[in-house]
Amino acid sequence: MTTAQNSLDGIYYDGHRPVGINATLSISDSGVTFSGREDAPYYSLPDLRVSPRIAQADRYIKLPDGGQFQCPDCALLDRFTQESAEGWIAWLEARVALAVLGIGIVMAALLLGYFYGLPKAAEYIAARIPMETERILGDQGLEWMEENNWLQPTTISDVMQIAYRHDFETLRQGLPQASHYQLEFRNAPHFGANAFALPGGIIVVTDALANVATGRDQFAAVLAHEMGHVEHRHTLRLTLQNSAVLLAVATVVGDAATLGVAAVPAVLAQTQYSREFESEADEFAFALLKQHGMSPEAFASVMLRMSEANEKAGPNEPIGFLSTHPLTQERIERARAAAH
């Protein structure tokens, strides 16, 4: 706004510091003077340039010493030498509808990249990362959860562990990643009846799940499903996707510290698999169970039991089977159909 007919109130920037100071620009026929600055300089009108008019945005008067003066647009600024925007840029700036359309196109491109391009890129990269390298991330994730008391020493008896490990060894024989598998039992009250695969072939089974499974076939069905995630590198692919998103956010906001979130390996245990990933792991499990003379019906049965166990645990459980493996009637029906 103006304080007098030939004065403008605004903010002065000296060109060296990002913080401006309030100042008043007094305009005469030949030049301008500043009040609000200690030196109260004088500038000749021909030496000043004013930024192009863009809607109702503030304008900037560029000073010959590298400073600039920001103020609202007004008729007084027409007395200065006008800078002009590039032809096509000025043309676009004058058309709000095109700007909105451009934003829509950018958003659509980002969404397409997120839902289609990013998963494809993650799959391509994951296939080229050695399992030994992936295992480093899995070991770090397991260590992090133990140090933060998310995972505690198991209470499962040695007899039960021996039996389950025997079935685990049987199932992994002949698989492409057989040599990288590692089965871990942990007491994890906050996870409920659950099992999850960490990068590099580490499969963690909670005590609650081991106690819920009635019979070794049901336990084997859970292991077979997690092996499906390992063989398809699902956890690594999701980790790559999430890291790419975090990197993009950090780039936009200019805060590299945002990437610290990606360093929390525990998020791997909570990552919700996509419908496609779950279907791939399910189909893998059905085929693997049949290969070893077990029925996929065991998969349907253990899913129902795990669901019931987590429902009994109550709504206060922050992490549970349903958070990482969405239970759907469709999946149960597919398991039963595969049994016949």
Q: pTM of the full predicted structure?
A: 0.65
Residue 39 pLDDT: 74
Residue 289 pLDDT: 96
CB 12 within 8 A of CB 69: yes
Tens of pLDDT, residues 190-224:
888 889 999 999 999 999 999 888 888 999 999 99
The confidence band for 93, taking pLDDT boundaries of 50, 70 and 90, is low
Least confident segment among 197-201, 259-263, 287-291, 301-305: 259-263
In 10 A of CB 278, how many CB atoms? 21
Tens of pLDDT, residues 8-64:
899 999 888 888 889 898 888 888 888 766 677 888 888 899 988 877 889 999 998
In 10 A of CB 169, how many CB atoms? 12
Mean pLDDT of 71-80: 88
Domain boundaries, the chain: 7-85, 95-128, 129-338
DSSP string, 138-174: HHHHHHHHHHTTSSEE----HHHHHHHHHHHHHHHTT
Kindly tell me if the per-residue pLDDT of 82 is higher than 60.
Answer: yes
Residue 245 pLDDT: 63
Mean pLDDT of 99-109: 84
Which of the two residues, 119 and 182, has the higher pLDDT score? 182
Residue 65 pLDDT: 87
CATH class of the domain whose range is 7-85: mainly beta
Closest CA relative to residue 145, chosen from 262, 267, 318: 267
Residue 286 pLDDT: 96
CB 186 within 8 A of CB 203: no
DSSP class of residue 178 equals G
**CA–CA gap between residue 294 and residue 279 (Å, rounded):** 19
Kindly calculate the radius of gyration of the chain based on its CA atoms and give it in whole angstroms: 32
**CA–CA gap between residue 148 and residue 266 (Å, rounded):** 9
Residue 273 pLDDT: 62
The confidence band for 283, taking pLDDT boundaries of 50, 70 and 90, is very high
Residue 53 pLDDT: 81
CB 136 within 8 A of CB 182: no
Burial class (CB in 10 A: 0-12, 13-18, 19+), 221: buried
Burial class (CB in 10 A: 0-12, 13-18, 19+), 39: exposed
Residue 111 pLDDT: 78
